[in-house]
Amino acid sequence: MGMDDRNDFLQWFNTTWRRAEDALHNGDSSGRFSTWSDREPVTLFGAWFEARGPEAAREVFLKLADSFSHSVSGDIELIAADVSGDLAYTVHREATSTRVNGEPSAYVLRVTRVYRREDDEWKVVHRHADTALPAADGT
């Protein structure tokens, strides 16, 4: 446990989770379905939509995939992350450049996610995102 657990989680975050997010911004929600839990409780406080429960979250992912296309970039600035037993969290900024409903769109979100280990796989169980504001130091 400990550092190996954290390293394993970050490996998953930087590969499996990241591919799912990139795919979503290109109009494919299937990766989100595989990285999110289908077990209660699941909550989504997104920048544009909210959902409670796995089915409601899936409906949001379908709406998002229908609106996103032609992703140009998706950068993640990981600010904090840790694992404790079967729970993990990340705090990060997501800088995305994609098309939303056919129109070019670039935005930065502040995101907090909670993950739960289920059957030896990490699954997202909560996401909170909002528009990032400049930091007090101007960055």
Give the chain's radius of gyration (CA, Å).
Answer: 15
What does each C-alpha distance from 115 to 102, 104, 134, 139 come to in angstroms? 32, 31, 27, 28
0.75 cut: is pTM over it? yes
Q: Is 3-131 a domain of CATH 3.50.50.60?
A: no
Report whether pLDDT(9) > 90: yes
Chain segment 65-89, per-residue pLDDT in tens: 999 999 999 999 999 999 999 999 9
Q: Spell out the domain ranges in the chain.
A: 3-131
Chain segment 104-124, per-residue pLDDT in tens: 999 999 999 999 999 999 999
Paired tokens of 59: 């409906």
Q: Using CA atoms, how far apart are residues 101 and 66, in angstroms rounded to an integer?
A: 8
Task: Supply the pLDDT for residue 135.
Answer: 61
